[in-house]
Amino acid sequence: MLFEGLELVSALATLAACLVSVTLLLAVSQQLWQLRWAATRDKSCKLPIPKGSMGFPLIGETGHWLLQVFSKIFSHEALESYLPKIQLVIQDTLRAWSSQPEAINVYQEAQRLTFRMAVRVLLGFSIPEEDLGHLFEVYQQFVDNVFSLPVDLPFSGYRRGIQARQILQKGLEKAIREKLQCTQGKDYSDALDILIESSKEHGKEMTMQELKDGTLELIFAAYATTASASTSLIMQLLKHPAVLEKLREELRAQGLLHGGGCPCEGTLRLDTLSGLHYLDCVIKEVMRLFTPISGGYRTVLQTFELDGFQIPKGWSVMYSIRDTHDTAPVFKDVNVFDPDRFSQARSEDKDGRFHYLPFGGGVRTCLGKHLAKLFLKVLAVELASTSRFELATRTFPGITLVPVLHPVDGLSVKFFGLDSNQNEILPETEAMLSATV
């Protein structure tokens, strides 16, 4: 046992030495790269060279360029083109939930919904339903093992995650190749189209591996946090029926509920949703009280003072979104679900820069925040318009924060479809409608 312990210590020491060596090598190479570019300045010109980083050797600022391409993916024009597809996916999903004779687990089904949205809308893949279901199960296995210890042993979470990623990438490569071969009949440019075209504009043809990696990142970005927020939205509408009714009143006032009917496909536009001020307040309050992730990490670029203490340059710090929302003095009764706190009359979030930051802040704010808010708004409109839903358990479940905020054991809810007059559709009528479709 003693020798085995010494061998383990020796292996860990070797690994640590390798990591330190690699880190030093990267740091030195970046400094040499900076000096290389600094030496190219025109000495006959007295003006200094621009400030900023030249990135890393060979790859330069490729990461920053890719960041700008993801910006295009979530631009106003892109979101406008996604909107009808998002509405259709949500409508189909709510119809399926309402047709179930038993209650559904909202958190699990919200995960399926956001995965479907990412695959169908963001990526534009035409994957058969059976294959899509299998891909979702593999993806869940991948996500469940993302935060495993990096120990590659049989039956370890890390090994299961690697295997799931390999299966995922194989399925994604098949979908990408089919998509590239079939370019006819498209009525909008999805995120993958924008990614490919943007790379061509910059004189760079993306490899299949880059396309697979980019595709997986887009799914990951649209999946867990949006499913968490969707579940929290439904739970709060269940807990606060007066909020749901006030939301319906706003929809009627804006002409989106004619005689109690639901908004037709194509009637929702970005400017229409922007005009629904109470809806915006509801989404903001959900994201304030139930932020999907607890915080984020940043590197200190310049030494600063915080409460009389020095935070040195180069330190890694974590900012807490939830603690910020809980302790921000601008919010009154912080534990109360009160969408009106964001109304124009009160505007509690306007009294300061960093009291409300569900998507982070600064230059590193979440790129997909506008897509997430759009998805939540459409979901809320469809829930208010086409569904009646009730809690299927005696009490509401508790909340866990790991890996993202979600109800313990999910959220059991029974959904009922509504006709154009907001009357409940009986099960036999639902079956007839499904058969007709």
With contact defined as beta carbons under 8 Å apart, do 295 and 404 qualify? no
With contact defined as beta carbons under 8 Å apart, do 238 and 286 qualify? no
Q: Please check if 18 is assigned to a binding site.
A: no
Q: What string of H, E and C letters represents the secondary structure of the chain?
A: CHHHHHHHHHHHHHHHHHHHHHHHHHHHHHHHHHHHHHCCCCCCCCCCCCCCCCCECCCECHHHHHHHHHHHHCCHHHHHHHHHHHHHHHHHHHHHHHHCCCCEEHHHHHHHHHHHHHHHHHCCCCCCHHHHHHHHHHHHHHHHCCCCCCCCCCCCHHHHHHHHHHHHHHHHHHHHHHHHHCCCCCCCCCHHHHHHHHHHHCCCCCCHHHHHHHHHHHHHHHHHHHHHHHHHHHHHHHHCHHHHHHHHHHHHHCCCCHHHCCCCCCCCCHHHHHCCHHHHHHHHHHHHHCCCCCEEEEECCCCEEECCEEECCCCEEEEEHHHHHHHCCCCCCCCCCCHHHHCCCCCHHHCCCCCCCECECHHHCCCCHHHHHHHHHHHHHHHHHHEEEEECCCCCCCEECCCCCEECCCCEEEEEEECCCCCECCHHHHHHHHHHC
Q: Which residues are annotated as a binding site?
A: 366
Q: Which residues are annotated as a binding site for heme?
A: 366
